[in-house]
Structure 1
């Protein structure tokens, strides 16, 4: 049985109260783990082929947009998107994106808007399946594929496929696509320096690269449930999610989860841009999640969570 542990830094909810382990926060890229798990559940149910080309699976307008930017969607596979080995440019990592969304905090962005920015600002970074390049854009495409296969909104599909309602997640929902649970406290105020990023419209990070709101308690618990294999019917499915590809950089990322090997022990982890992180230690079955209200504290938060999960602190922290 995994042992979940939740941590928070000093912070503020939308009512001005101090954060605690049940305060919901935007978890940004921590969402990717559960988006990937949803695809693996569809794979387990034989509704998707991980090695299928993405072209026929995508909304035609998005497929056409990608092809106009030089992406060969007949060669890029679902597995490559999940493992960040598709060579996709990352619109969210481009410094222009944060400046753009900060300048238009109330704008409602679409998936196609964000894919268009990736095509406009960048180009394919490598041939499909040859190298790791982290990309929110790739997970936006995964979100589109999930919606088309299930016929549901991404939030509903993740909830349904992973049966989230079974796990007593009192502070978990997909923004815009779902209503907050009646049990959830007010969502936290989250900052980038002095700017309150939690006032940005949720659509800036909604379509698969991010989108979930969770408390640290829920994030730790659901991560533990994942690695205990309870989200899937077969042990083979979790093993497939932890597949290591042949591409350059594959040693550091699986399908929806980073991995660190320290003194011969694997630790699975993922972070979220606004100030969240979760680690899981297979050797001890411990899952630890943490959150801070300011993005600039993320590096220190990671160090605290690593210590809590059993990783020795770096001497420079």
Structure 2
């Protein structure tokens, strides 16, 4: 592939690749791409009280001490084969906040994860592009039926019929740039390569749509790149600036950013590749965020994520009219799947559990797995973060177990106290 077409900028020598002595062969998946498998060696080289489910296989009677049972389940996740070195869950009911955690923020230390530790939020970043674009709908800058052809005419003519609505609920049919072999080759050759984030769709510009727009659901990282480009086109402002104006400031989040490089701000929870029998390997700063951008590049903290999902799911950022459009659900699961039955809305998912409904988003990225969810009024929320990547392709059994634990936390969130 010619670098001119992809607009790839080479990093300086100081962005060197980690030593080859640390390379491994097990696969790692990029954020939200269940079918995209990259060898880690390549990446590094170049009824709420009805019962708490203690494992995916069975349910148990309600323990006397609900909080202790939840903490034990987090510990079980860290002890499971391929489980994370650390996990934190933040439950917030009105003004009351409870923090549950197990494991450590970094191997070789005894420091617990704090709610103010930074982390890669992976595909939960897609909810942020939804927060931006839906506010622009409210302000008359965009319409949900606006097409790529009208707003982004430079993109391939074959994609011109795709609407903003279809991008936001993953029914667009856009080919996923993060699955493109040329993109993967470049990432494998140098994981810290700096990409021109606004030209990521160039990797699939020669490909037709995968299906007729609106015909079916198919999760694609390309969708939210296009959403961010639309937001920039109609405002004349950088997406990063729109995030600050429309999301960070109204919700008073102060430790959230969308970087271009691979560095993590301090303090942070370290993310790991956990592939037994090898010891966990730190992959926190392996990949440049420029290659995922609006589809998964945001860095935040559990505290900030809690503030975000309460405002976003609770409708604080958008009008009731737009919110009704956001909640036109289609069949489709987030990636990885969240607790209970999943349905897709406009940059948000509905999770119907045995204890009730919450709205939110999930995400996974090398070193991290995320769930953020809140009640429809935004008054109760859950932020659930693991320091390893878990999805249906790399760790299906652990994902099944994780979803059961997440559902138990949702039940705890919804339980009357």
TM-score by length of 2: 0.62
Q: What is the match of residue 383 of structure 2?
A: 289
189, 204, 223: which one pairs with 2:270?
A: 189
Greater share of helix residues, 1 or 2?
1
Contact kept in structure 2, 1:265 and 1:283, CA below 8 Å: no
Shift of 1:309: 1.3
2:372 counterpart of 1:278: yes
2:238 counterpart of 1:143: no
Structure 2: stretches of 5+ with no match in the other structure: 1-91, 275-280, 334-341
1:250-289 per-position Cα deviation (integer Å, ceiling 9, x unaligned) = 9720011122333594332311212111122338942101
3-state secondary structure, aligned to 1:295 = coil
Matches within 5 A, 1:1-317: 3=94, 10-12=103-105, 17-58=111-152, 60=154, 63=155, 66-67=156-157, 71-73=158-160, 75-93=161-179, 100-111=186-197, 113-119=199-205, 123-162=208-247, 164-176=248-260, 185-193=266-274, 194=281, 196-206=283-293, 208-232=294-318, 234-244=319-329, 249=332, 252-263=343-354, 265-274=356-365, 275-282=369-376, 285-296=379-390, 299=399, 300-310=401-411
On the 8 A contact 2:168/2:227 being kept in 1, the answer is: yes
CA distance in 2, matches of 1:146, 1:285: 29
RMSD over aligned Cα atoms: 3.3
Query: In the superposition, relative to structure 1, how do residues 224 and 136 fare at CA in structure 2: closer, same or farther (>3 Å)?
Result: same
For 2:354 and 2:107, how far apart are their aligned partners in 1?
A: 41
Unmatched 5+ residue regions in structure 1?
A: 313-317
The structure showing larger relative contact order (alpha-carbon pairs under 8 Å, at least 6 residues apart) is 1
For residues 8 and 159 of structure 1, do their structure 2 counterparts lie closer, same or farther at Cα, with a shift above 3 Å needed? farther
Contact 2:314 2:374 in 1 (8 A): no
Q: Provide the TM-score with structure 1 as the length reference.
A: 0.79
Distance 1:189 1:240, change over 3 A: same
Bigger Rg over Cα: 2
Number of residues paired by the alignment? 294
Cα distance change on mapping 1:127 and 1:166 into 2, 3 Å: closer
